[in-house]
Amino acid sequence: MIHKTKRYLVDVLGLNIDVDLWSENRRLPVYLQDSYKFQQTTLHNLPCLLMIALGEQEQTPAVIRKHAENIRDRWEGEVIYVRRNITAYNRHRLIQHKVSFIVPEKQLYLPLLGIDLREHFRRIRSEREQLSPSSQAVVINVLLDHNNHKYAPRELADKLGYSTMALTRVFDELEFAGIATTSRQGRKRFIEFPVDKRHLWETAGKFLRDPVKKRVYVNRMSSQIPNVVAGLTALSRMSMLSAPDRMTYAISGKAWKTIKEEDGLKQLPPIESDAIELEIWHYNPVTFAINGGVDPFSLYLSLRDSNDERIQIALEEMMEKIKW
């Protein structure tokens, strides 16, 4: 980890640093010694202590901040949290808490050095093929299903509206991606996902796409299909984000083909103040709708690339409410 950190600082900041073990480590409480490796260095003449996470389980940002504060009682300089990976919503919370951090080869945040955020958060979906819409629908279904983690093709086909043959291809795709494993019992094939839903989300999330295929703007909603709120309208209902002036709904591509020729339904320019935003999804949002809105996982995927800090904070708030 330390070698990757040094190389990353050279690549991003042009800093070639020397690091040494921190001798005061032995005087720390046992829980801190067990949780981190501590190495001292200097960045732009500022003494810095690298607090390198040892465990696989990611601590909450509040806990990390508390640990850093405890270290500052014994260290006169900056404390920098270092971890192999940090989830998007934890990153934003760390920034809120003004906790300096480095994720080697991906991102860093060093406010005391005047570096707000140099992000190299390589989204694996840009490096690897994204999951097909049908495979993504299966993953979303599993994330929302708290009673099961092992399925047969027919079971998923009946619920999600795909053919058994399509589900066979889904099984192959998910197994190849390392998201699930398959097995056979006699002639029947089954797919099994991790029991830990948070682990599944963090593993599969790297392969998941924005569910929105395109956005159109219309003068009204159709009475032929369920109205499922999406976008910022849905996010405002799941967080403290203020409701937008424009309503946003989600429908499947098949539903859009059905209603777009409907009498009285007109497409409008986005600048029209009374236009309704309609997201056309790769899979059917109605299948996973909760209380009249899209599911939180698909909603997160549809907004995670937003540059608006308010939206990112609201997404973080929404994800923290999920009962894994």
Query: In terms of domains, do 11 and 94 share one?
Result: yes
Least confident residue range of 89-98, 121-130, 133-142:
121-130
pLDDT in tens, 174-194: 998 899 999 988 888 999 999
Q: What is the predicted pLDDT for the residue at 119? A: 46
Query: In terms of domains, do 7 and 110 share one?
Result: yes
Please say which residue of 183, 207, 231 terminates a domain.
207
Residue 87, phi then psi, degrees to nearest 5: -65, 155
Least confident residue range of 24-33, 75-84, 85-94, 305-314:
85-94
Instruction: Indicate if the alpha-carbon torsion angle 160, 163, 165, 169 is positive or negative.
Output: negative
Q: What is the predicted pLDDT for the residue at 36? A: 92
Q: What is the predicted pLDDT for the residue at 297? A: 98
Tell me if 36 sits within 8 A of 52, measured CB to CB. Answer: yes
Q: What is the predicted pLDDT for the residue at 124? A: 37
Query: In terms of domains, do 222 and 310 share one?
Result: yes
Confidence band (pLDDT; 50, 70, 90) for 214?
very high
Instruction: Reply yes or no on whether the pLDDT at 318 is more than 50.
Output: yes
> How far is Cα 125 from Cα 122, in angstroms, rounded to an integer?
9
Confidence band (pLDDT; 50, 70, 90) for 303?
very high
Query: In terms of domains, do 103 and 164 share one?
Result: no
Q: Domains in the chain: how many in total?
A: 3
Please say which residue of 95, 122, 149 terminates a domain.
122
Q: What's the rounded mean pLDDT across residues 145-160?
A: 92
pLDDT in tens, 110-123: 887 776 444 443 44
Long-range contacts of 258-262 (CB under 8 A, 24+ apart): 258/224, 258/225, 259/222, 259/224, 259/225, 262/222, 262/224
pLDDT in tens, 42-53: 888 889 999 999
Reduced to 3 states, what is the DSSP secondary structure of residue 215? Answer: strand
Q: What is the predicted pLDDT for the residue at 115? A: 61
Percent of the chain with pLDDT over 70: 95
Query: In terms of domains, do 196 and 220 share one?
Result: no
Instruction: Reply yes or no on whether the pLDDT at 170 is more than 90.
Output: yes
Domain span including residue 178? 126-207
Q: pTM of the entire structure?
A: 0.64
Query: In terms of domains, do 131 and 92 share one?
Result: no
Query: In terms of domains, do 270 and 307 share one?
Result: yes
Query: In terms of domains, do 286 and 225 share one?
Result: yes
Whole-number CA gyration radius for the chain = 23
Query: In terms of domains, do 117 and 181 share one?
Result: no
Strand order in the sheet with 228-229: 212-218, 276-281, 248-252, 228-229
Instruction: Reply yes or no on whether the pLDDT at 173 is more than 80.
Output: yes
Q: What's the rounded mean pLDDT across residues 120-130?
A: 49
Computed over every residue of the chain, the mean pLDDT equals: 88
Tell me if 200 sits within 8 A of 193, measured CB to CB. Answer: yes
Residue 226, phi then psi, degrees to nearest 5: -65, 140
Query: In terms of domains, do 162 and 269 share one?
Result: no
Instruction: Reply yes or no on whether the pLDDT at 129 is more than 90.
Output: no
Instruction: Reply yes or no on whether the pLDDT at 126 is more than 70.
Output: no
Query: In terms of domains, do 89 and 40 share one?
Result: yes
pLDDT in tens, 55-109: 888 889 999 999 999 998 889 889 999 998 888 778 888 888 889 999 887 788 8
Please say which residue of 163, 189, 207 terminates a domain.
207
Alpha-carbon torsion angle 130, 132, 134, 136, nearest 10: 0
Confidence band (pLDDT; 50, 70, 90) for 156?
very high
Question: What residues have CB less than 8 Å from 40, skipping those under 6 apart?
Answer: 19, 20, 21, 22, 47, 48, 49, 50
Q: What is the CATH number of the domain that holds 201?
A: 1.10.10.10
Confidence band (pLDDT; 50, 70, 90) for 225?
confident
Query: In terms of domains, do 238 and 256 share one?
Result: yes
Q: What is the predicted pLDDT for the residue at 43? A: 86
